[in-house]
Structure 1
């Protein structure tokens, strides 16, 4: 069995090596000729899986995408061809939620403006938006959720309008899929008009899709409003962000908010499980066995961490400043954006760091944040 796989997908060999011949490919430049004799195709969001890509293949048994979203996959075409498909919903939700939370802590420290006490509006309450809300609520921050689709589905959580978030939120974090048409279109959801109407000193984070913000309009508005603070992990025109926009962001990264080792492993592992089910064979591999040991055995708490100490703990796990610095120095290089994504192998989640304490410290909120081993 020939398994064609995006070269940037981790843990493929230990999971799929026993199932067939693994052929790594560049997912962004993948051609129909390369796919012609593949039995299994494993992709990420940079690959458009459609009739054009699969036109010469008559033997494909399975398509998997190690992503939450499916906007890069022509699901109707796969159904028509009776090609089984699976993705990995929620695989990197924790990573994205922690990335957004850490970015907010970094902004709070940089501008001496504590996160605790602010109101955060989350636009899009699916997997990643919910994970962001989980971190914030564990820390005691007030969260406003906006998601008209979840409302229509009968989600029992409390939701507000986008106008309410615009009026009340000190921080807005975007977590919607890209939808280009229809009632709930998210393409340029934040256009020039909406960007201009952001309340003073708003922090705006985008960890979903670059096209959700009109990047050209964002440049124009930001140049006129230094009070707005930006955290941008996604960009219009990826892998070629507008060079004028990058310097205007407080933190800038190349679409890696979900790139924790745990999230990557989880995404690939979910596809392994789905393929095993499709082939009707037992899934014998173990997710936790894939992950390397964390470089810090544990941290003992003497007192309840304040916000500065919490940021220090977060930086043990992931220092956003490092990726921001590398990105600014490399994004204009040839393939700089994709090279950084490909080589991104150091990010961990809060669960990698074990915390310990003695006595009666009230630190359950650290466990709720995701840190492991919280206790005596």
Structure 2
């Protein structure tokens, strides 16, 4: 059996590196996401597992792979893997951080622009009903220049979003559990505010925090009640940070003006009702879906396998 099992089809650079290192590997060849049954069948003799963040690697999977040395997750997140149980079994778990930063930040800014100028709604209008003709008050949106962007989670992606937003003349404020240093804030041109202040005063709220037990449903009915009726929320972080039923209700009741989601609470399912709303943009988790970002991620997972195979320490270990 193969030393390496790739539980998803990955960029060519991944297999190129594995071939160069003379590592025997096999790749999931099915359509769609790999099933639990297929994963269990193929991982049983593997020493290295490459898995997408959409695939759950729980205790059952780990117990089916007694030879496993490394689980390398193709994604910046790793909440799909039971990292603590893997550590108990002596299995190293890695992810692919940093390389997604620019792509996700670009998507975030794109969603803000699309919401504010009603671009997706306008495209649907043209395809379904057509263009009735230019008129002074027809299909009005709003400019983002001068508006306040509230960023929840000022990590690498949040910081890059702040830079791009500032370049577009937005005012940027942020909240996270720990405030950045004064030099860091000044270099980014951001202001630290309380969570309540951020929700109350932001025109756009963009989520970039990792998923934790503390921020489950951080944006719930109470949170949406605090937001401006003209504000919109953008989630490119993790779905469960937003209570999607409460979001749907807030949109229906016009407590907030819009939303753009690239991740979902029950991914890949979308909460009923959201897809029917004109002021909601839904994208299929494309934050880092660029040729550049995915190739860089593929290089990381393959290189980590090569490092461990050579008796060296893998990079980006998340369960030390």
**TM-score, length-normalised on structure 2?**
0.79
Match of 1:17 among 12, 19, 30: 19
Match of 1:63 among 52, 66, 71: 71
Q: CA deviation at 1:77?
A: 1.9
Distance 1:31 1:276, change over 3 A: closer
Structure 1 residues 63-101: Cα deviation after superposition (integer angstroms, max 9, x where no partner): 100211222222222222222222111221211110010
Structure 1 residues 312-339: Cα deviation after superposition (integer angstroms, max 9, x where no partner): xxxxxxxxxxxxxxxxxxxxxxxxxxxx
Preserved contact between residue 7 and residue 39 of structure 2 (Cα < 8 Å):
no
Q: Which residue of 2 aligns with 1:262?
A: 292
Preserved contact between residue 27 and residue 46 of structure 1 (Cα < 8 Å):
no
- Are residue 151 (structure 1) and residue 163 (structure 2) matched? no
Q: Aligned Cα RMSD in Å?
A: 2.4
Distance 1:119 1:193, change over 3 A: same
Match of 2:104 among 82, 87, 96: 96
Q: CA deviation at 1:153?
A: 9.6
User: Residue 71 of structure 1: SS of its match in structure 2?
Assistant: coil
Q: CA deviation at 1:143?
A: 0.8
Which region of structure 1 is more displaced relative to structure 2, 248-257 or 60-69?
248-257
| Matched length | 277
Match of 1:241 among 263, 270, 277: 270
**TM-score, length-normalised on structure 1?**
0.68
Q: Which residue of 2 aligns with 1:130?
A: 159
Preserved contact between residue 100 and residue 173 of structure 1 (Cα < 8 Å):
yes
Higher relative contact order at CA 8 Å, sep ≥6: structure 1 or structure 2?
Answer: 2
- Are residue 37 (structure 1) and residue 62 (structure 2) matched? no
- Are residue 105 (structure 1) and residue 113 (structure 2) matched? yes
Preserved contact between residue 13 and residue 22 of structure 1 (Cα < 8 Å):
no
Q: Which residue of 1 aligns with 2:225?
A: 196
CA distance in 2, matches of 1:247, 1:125: 32
- Are residue 210 (structure 1) and residue 228 (structure 2) matched? no
Q: Which residue of 1 aligns with 2:198?
A: 165
CA distance in 1, matches of 2:224, 2:202: 14
Distance 1:50 1:89, change over 3 A: same
Match of 1:176 among 197, 209, 220: 209
- Are residue 85 (structure 1) and residue 70 (structure 2) matched? no
User: Residue 22 of structure 1: SS of its match in structure 2?
Assistant: strand
Q: Which residue of 2 aligns with 1:351?
A: none
Structure 1 residues 234-267: Cα deviation after superposition (integer angstroms, max 9, x where no partner): 1222112123112224311111122111111111
Distance 1:109 1:219, change over 3 A: closer
CA distance in 2, matches of 1:152, 1:71: 25
Q: CA deviation at 1:8?
A: 4.0
Long gaps (5+) in structure 1:
283-376
Distance 1:192 1:210, change over 3 A: same
Q: Which residue of 1 aligns with 2:7?
A: 6
User: Residue 64 of structure 1: SS of its match in structure 2?
Assistant: strand
Structure 1 residues 7-55: Cα deviation after superposition (integer angstroms, max 9, x where no partner): 2432333232342222226445354332101121001211222321111
CA distance in 2, matches of 1:207, 1:155: 27
Q: CA deviation at 1:230?
A: 1.0
